[in-house]
Amino acid sequence: MSEPKLAVDLAGLEMHNPLIVASGTFAYGEEFINVGGFKNEDIGAIALKGTTLEPREGNATPRVAETASGMLNSIGLQNPGADAVVRDVLPRLRAFDTRLIANIAGGTVEEYREVARRFARAPELDAIEVNISCPNVRRGGAAFGADPTAAADVVAAVREAWGGPLIAKLTPNVTDIAPIAAACIDAGADILSLINTLRGMVIDTATRRPVLGNNFGGLSGPAVKPVAILMVHQVYQIAREKNVPVIGMGGIAGANDAIEFIIAGASAFSVGTALFWNPSVCRQIIDGLRAYLIEHEIDDVSKLVGTLKTN
């Protein structure tokens, strides 16, 4: 069989392969290139660190805690603010032949809209991902993404400011993800990505204090993968009817994990935490994916999407 096609086109976000590095695990794209053998060009797209309107200092340390098969983080969105990213960081990233996705965060609908406006002026960006897991400061800190109306408000506000591919990143910290996915699509999202981290806590029994400076944090890594696979499967049922592609993530550490997500309905997938313990994982996943497609005589990765046969 000839070389299978790995390039994908997600609602205008064209990538030479379906691997995206997850927001918050790759800073602004200039760190992993210091690792011998690592090339940003091997990646389909980079989701940049979550960015707010003003610079944010982030949470107190410790900011990470290892858990069984995963880790908790409570970075607290430390970032230099949208203007600094647009002015100082994005121009440098032109050097890399890969797609760039801004990831935006905020405490109010207006903040999201304003960050999107700043990013809309940056010619370097190929897509914007809206992280709707952030607490809504006007609603006692409940996440925007936990309520269909609030989620739709945020997506609609960003939609007004940005005409390119718009990704709504869903939170798994909900009872039913389907109505939220539907609300985001109706509000103008072109693509859905999921999952963000699951909330959790680790306690140091010697001191009876939470290990994280922020008390609680978000769980990621292989521990969350089965949760993520099911949610991608559920969201895919809704998204495919409206022709909206899904980006799957949560615990991908090897090619087989990525393939599971694709079968469940993901047109592309993101790798985050696994990069921390294996910076060479991207190459390994792409090689493994290619080998799988050849073995199963599939000439285009897109033909594998959503091919799950339920019992």
Partner 1 sequence: MEVLPRNTIHHLRCPVLDVVELEGGHCRLRFHAPPIARSSIPGQFVNVRLPGRIDRPRAFDSYADVVEYHKTHPVGEAPFLLARPFGVHRAGADGWVEILFKVVGRGTRLLAGAALGSRLDVLGSIGNGFNLTQPPQTAVLVAGGTGIAPLYLLAERLHRAGSGLVVLVGTGFALPMTLSDSDEVVHFLDKDVTAVIDEYVDLGAVVRIATIEPRKGCHTGTSVDLLSQYLQALPPGERAGKAIFSCGPWAMQAAVAGLAARYAMPCQVLLEERMGCGLGACMACVCKIRQETGEYKYKRVCVDGPVFDANDVGWEARE
Q: Site residues (CB under 6 A) for ligand FMN?
A: 22-25, 49-50, 73, 75, 77, 103, 131, 169, 196-197, 220-221, 224, 249-252, 271-274
Active-site annotation holder among 20, 48, 134, 183: 134
Given the rule CB under 8 A, which of 35-43, 108-116, 132-140, 290-298 is the region that contacts partner 1?
A: 35-43
Q: Does 209 bind partner 1 (CB under 8 A)?
A: no
Whether the CB-CB separation of 132 and 143 falls below 8 Å is answered with: yes
Nearer to ligand FMN, 73 or 108 (CB): 73
Q: Which two tokens stand for residue 167?
A: 């990704």
Q: Looking at the chain, how many residues does it have?
A: 311
Rounded Cα gap, residues 58 and 197, in angstroms: 17
- Cis peptide preceding 195, ω within 30 of 0: yes
CB of residue 299 to ligand FMN, shortest distance in Å:
28
Q: Which two tokens stand for residue 51?
A: 């960015």
Given the rule CB under 8 A, which of 62-70, 232-240, 259-267, 299-307 is the region that contacts partner 1?
A: 62-70
Q: Does 80 bind partner 1 (CB under 8 A)?
A: yes
Residue with tokens 């997500």: 261
In 212-242, which positions are buried (b, 16+ CB within 10 angstroms) versus exposed (e)?
bebeebbbbbbbbbeebbebbbbbbebbeee
Rounded Cα gap, residues 141 and 259, in angstroms: 36
* Segment 241 to 260, residues that bind partner 1, using CB under 8 A: 253
Rounded Cα gap, residues 93 and 104, in angstroms: 18
Three-state DSSP state, 248? strand
Task: Return the residue nearest ligand FMN (CB atom).
Answer: 24
- Using CB under 8 A, pick the residue from 5, 16, 39, 58 that binds partner 1: 58
252 binds, among ligand FMN, partner 1, none (CB under 5 to 8 A by kind): ligand FMN
Known catalytic residue: 282? Answer: no
Q: Which two tokens stand for residue 247?
A: 């980006």
Rounded Cα gap, residues 280 and 35, in angstroms: 9
166 binds, among ligand FMN, partner 1, none (CB under 5 to 8 A by kind): none
- Using CB under 8 A, pick the residue from 23, 26, 122, 271 that binds partner 1: 26
Tell me which residues are annotated as active site: 134
Residues that bind partner 1 (CB under 8 A): 24-27, 30-32, 34-38, 49, 57-58, 61-66, 68-71, 73, 75, 78, 80, 84, 88-89, 92, 221-223, 253, 275-280
